Amino acid sequence: MSRLACTIHARGGRAFVKGTPLNDPQAWVYRHEVQVTRLAPHAPHVLWEVDAGGWLLCGYEFIEGFHPQLTPGSGDIGPLVRTLTIMSEVHWPEALRKKPLHTRWAEFLPTHVPSGFQGQGLAHTDVSLHNMLMTSADELLLLDWALACPAPSWADAALTVPRLISAGHTPEQAEKIARQVPAYRDADSDTVTAFARTVYAAWENWERTRPLPHRAALTAAAREWAAHRRSVPFP
């Protein structure tokens, strides 16, 4: 979605570059992404950030890899769990100012917001397949940290559940995988259930108001997860 996204070949090797005009109202998002990516685990290295010719250009480490498979039985699920576990242990840096997830989703939250929604973990919040990259070292990296914000430490594991369902897992299987992440396993049951309902409410709204080809399947998976959470107690 960047105004510029390309690979450059330089004397020092390849780099992936994202850029936007400096007068773009969303230019701050690119600077925020650079700041977060520098601190995020399992993310590409930031090589440089340059203002030149009226453009903001951000250079990232070029990584050879492929998007993972999240279907049942895939060998990529283990690396995914490892990455989510490491991410869940990182706190949001106080020096970075960003609207927390519970504020971003305020219109979709229940009347009484559970205190567990107000976490201070460093959350990616957009754990789609296109933002994941498997490397030759069997490591799963997360790309595109533009939507990162403070959130509960288990938020990214929870947001992965409907994506696993969409990939062919049952809700029970998807939650079994998510519970391999200690932060998700230890999360308050009622809070996670409210979170699942909030995810469905948000995605259903976006499917209606901002339709994109991939949203219908994800919304259906989120609906299935929310229904499962209402009917089955969280261990």
How many domains is the chain built from?
A: 2
Q: Is residue 52 part of a domain?
A: yes
200 in the same domain as 88: yes
Q: Which tens digit of pLDDT belongs to each residue from 195-224?
A: 999 999 999 999 999 888 888 999 999 999
210 in the same domain as 102: yes
Cβ burial of 181 (10 Å; 0-12, 13-18, 19+) is buried
The pair of three-digit structure tokens given for residue 110, joined into one six-digit string? 């229940």
The number of CA neighbours under 13 Å toward the Cβ of 14 is: 7
d(CA 44, CA 144): 9
96 in the same domain as 194: yes
220 in the same domain as 133: yes
Q: Is residue 223 part of a domain?
A: yes
How high is the mean pLDDT of the chain? 93
Averaged pLDDT for residues 17-44: 95
Give me the pLDDT at residue 89, please.
Answer: 97
The pair of three-digit structure tokens given for residue 217, joined into one six-digit string? 């399947």
* CA trace torsion 37, 43, 48, 50 (10° rounding): -50
d(CA 154, CA 199): 14
Q: Is residue 29 part of a domain?
A: yes
Structural domain ending residue among the three candidates 61, 92, 107? 61
Torsion 107-130-67-87 (CA) sign: negative
**pLDDT surpassing 70 at residue 233:** no
123 in the same domain as 47: no
180 in the same domain as 122: yes
* Residue-by-residue DSSP string for 188-203: -HHHHHHHHHHHHHHH
130 in the same domain as 34: no
State what percent of residues in the chain have pLDDT above 70. Answer: 98
pTM (2 d.p.)? 0.93
CATH of the domain at 22: 3.30.200.20
Q: Which tens digit of pLDDT belongs to each residue from 96-127?
A: 999 999 999 999 987 777 888 889 999 999 99
Q: Is residue 221 part of a domain?
A: yes
Please report which helix (H) or strand (E) contains residue 19, including its range: strand 13-21
Averaged pLDDT for residues 59-85: 97
129 in the same domain as 190: yes
Which range of residues forms the domain containing residue 94? 77-231
For 40, which DSSP code?
A: -
CATH of the domain at 92: 1.10.510.10
d(CA 40, CA 213): 29
31 in the same domain as 91: no
146 in the same domain as 216: yes
Averaged pLDDT for residues 182-187: 97
Give me the pLDDT at residue 201, please.
Answer: 94
* Greatest Cα pair distance in the chain: 58
Averaged pLDDT for residues 20-41: 95
Give me the pLDDT at residue 232, please.
Answer: 60
